[in-house]
Each structure stands twice: as C-alpha cells, then as structure tokens.
Structure 1
Amino acid sequence: MGKLSVSAALVCLALFSGANAEEKLSMSDADKAMYAEMLENNPADMDVAEGEQLFGNMTSLEAYSKMLGVKEKDLAGYIAGFPRYVDGAKKVITLSQSIQMAAADAGKTVPKLESKEMLKMTAYVKSLANGLKTNIDVKANKQMKEMMALGQEVFETRRGGRGLSCNSCHSPDIIGQRLRMQPLPDLGVNKAAGTWPAYRMTKSETTALDKRFQQCMDNALLAKIPLGSKEMVALEVYVTNKTKGNEIQIPGLKR
C-alpha cells in the first residue's frame, strides 16, 4: 500500500485542522447526553418498523428465503453474509439489491436503491440478523475474491484534485486524528458494516452504508460512485470484511 503523495498529505493536514486537538473538540456534554438517550430510543427504530410493513406488503420472508435458495430458519445467518454471490443474480450483490430481486420476483414495482422505502426495508431485513456476527466470506468463490480485490483498489485509489482516497482518512497511520472535530475511526473496530443502516445525529436521518460512502466522497470533493455499481458493491465487500466477526446491531447510532 503506497504512502500519500506530499500534496495529498498536505491537504489532509489542512483538513484535519487540529489533529491532536484538545478533548473539547469532541462531543459536547449535551451531545453526549443526547447520544446516551438515543441509544435507548433510537429514532431509526421507526424506520425499521416501517420497513417491516413495506417488506410485508411486497413479499413474505418465506418467498424471500426461497428466492435466495435458503430455508427460512437459516435466513438470518444468510443475511449476515452480505454482500455475497447470489445464484439468481449471477453476481455479488448487496442486501438492498437482493430486496430488489424479491420485488421483481413478486411482480411488484422494484424500489430504487436511492429511495427511502429501500432504506427502510434494508434496515428491517438486516435487523433480522441482529445479535449474529457478520460472516462475509471473501474467499467463498471466484466472484467474491474478485470483488474483494476491486474493493481494496477502490478504497486505496486516490482521486480528484486533492488526490484523496478512502485510505487517506482510514489508514492505520491516520486513524485517531481529527477531521471536523471528530476522530477518524478504524472501520473494523468501529463495526462499520454491522451497525449500518444507522441514525446519523448530525444529519437527523437514517443512512445506509453505501450512502455514507457517497457522503464521504462529497466531503472530499470526489465524484460519487453510483449506488449499485460494481465498484460500490466491491467497496462494501472490502469494508464489510474489515468488520467480519463483529455483532450486527441494527439500527446503529452515529454522530
């Protein structure tokens, strides 16, 4: 893994504007109190409940399981392995894309990946695996191996005028420094894959992992990788693998 270029490193330092800053730059006492309260009463719980209703109006868990080729009793464990190769799709797909397949299989209007309906259904379906550990298998087959390699490439490739990449803010030598007053997290320790979709306090909304990727790209002035594209799915594969073995807790809660 190559080091940042001098120009990119200077940009990062400018962006951090206070790396190793005082603790006062962290969450305020009021924010901490709000965070503690939301842990008990996560606003995204309503999205999960609405997602259950939306999903039920579209199809059943029995039909969904059958479409995926698994028994309903094994569905939760199967869900914990997304993104994964699905025979019916003949490619590696995300959980949201599997819901699109279920809609098509049921003869219903296929929800767009960007829609609020899809977000809510994805949160509900993933919540079925709560308490289990993420069990993505990036060595399961040729397709998963290829997507893992592509995901790493997307994660580490520097783009845009600033020459930044995902790795610019999440490499081991950067983790813990501050960007916009927030410590840059270790995506593995931070359980990135197991806690999204999550409610973002700063946005006052529930957000999916791939949409969070796009928000980061926006902040870094990078062209957004389209949802559902091979590159975006691969990026989710790579990041999910970083959190393999962490407990799934949906909906998550993020600052």
Structure 2
Amino acid sequence: MNKAVEFIDWGLTDYQDAWTKQEVLFDGTVALKTKNRTENTNLATPNYLVFCEHPHVYTLGKSGHPENLLLDEQGLKEKKATYYKINRGGDITYHGPGQIVGYPILDLDNFFTDIHLYLRTLEEAVILTLADYGISAGRYPGYTGVWLDPDNEKARKICAMGVRCSRWVTMHGFAFNVNADLNYFKNIVPCGIDDKDVTSMQNELGFELDMEEVKNKLKNHIAVLFKMDLC
C-alpha cells in the first residue's frame, strides 16, 4: 500500500481545465492498476489531493435533473456563470470563489475499499475543520455532505459531495463553502433538495475567513483520518 499523497493547490482555475487535469491523473492511475494486473507487476499507484477554487459554475451529476438549474443561457451569461454536465454522482451544485473544492484522486486499494466509508471520512474532515472554528456540524440522514442543525427545521448544507469511483480510483469530491457568495445557490435547486438552505462559514461566523488557513486545517484533518503521508 502506498499512502504517500501529493498535495496540489491549483488556485482559481477554470472548471473545464480542472476536469481535464483530473481525468489525466485519474486515467494514469487506472492504467497503472491495469498494467499491474495484466502484466503481474506490483508498481505503486500514486495518490493526489487537489484543492482549488473555480469561477462561477454550475455542474450537474450523471443522475441529476437538468430542471434543477433555474437559469437559461441568457441567465447564465448575466450571472457570468458556466454550466457542465459531468460524470460524478449527485445532482446539481454550484462552485465559485470563496469555496474550497477538493478533488482527492486516490487509489482506495492504498487505504480502504469502501466507498461509503470514503464519503463519511471526507465528511468527518470537514466536520473537524468546522469544529476548529467553533461551528458544530454533522450529517443529515439519507444525504451526503455536511450540515448544520441537521436534526431540526433549520438544517442547512455547508459542504456538498459528489464522486466518481472506478477500479477503486476516485475523482471529483467536495465543495466546502467558506466565503462563497450564497446568492448563486438561488439559481438552482441545490443537490435536488428544495426545502433546505445552504450556508457558509462566513455566513455563520459573520466575518471573512482566511482561505489558506482553512485549507491547511482541512488538508491536515484529511491526512490524519486517511493515515496519509502528505507531501
């Protein structure tokens, strides 16, 4: 098992560019696993943890409903936003500046082969990061992601998740609202859930957060929980 994970911060990057770069890393890992199996080799597979932010963009998962985007082409132009149908699970979500988008591209054979545990572990890293700032968060039964007040009518989502996994290699990941402009969520039915609000750390705390500080806390929690050797 190779628990070494390369951390990469792409900064503010176009969604299509990031998707293409993810696919290159993902396909390379899958190809190496195939080579190991077909040629009876035992080459170590790489792991990556990518953080970035995106210009305003809406993405729809393969099981999502297009009608959950409430804007037409002209509306997207007015909002200076783009729209992509992509190959992850889940419904529609928003990415934008002030949001930490995480793309773990991991060979889960190096960690554990359980996709539900994988999602719960990512959620736990976000929950621990929020706790560092005095925000109590948890899970909403039946849904992925991280929620505040998940046990009552005030339930609101602060981190969305949607992943792809093939041959135990992951891509796509999570979107964690730190200083995100929440007005952009009004243009969609977030994750297909029409009766729950969306929030951010800035909205909850009343001040703008240091993105680099939050990133550092989050990546360290992920590393500990997955027992990664982060480099």
Q: Is TM (by shorter chain) over 0.5?
A: no
Structure having the higher strand fraction is 2
TM-score (norm. length: structure 1): 0.26
Q: Which has the higher contact order (CA 8 A, sep 6+)?
A: 1
Structure having the higher helix fraction is 1
TM-score (norm. length: structure 2): 0.28
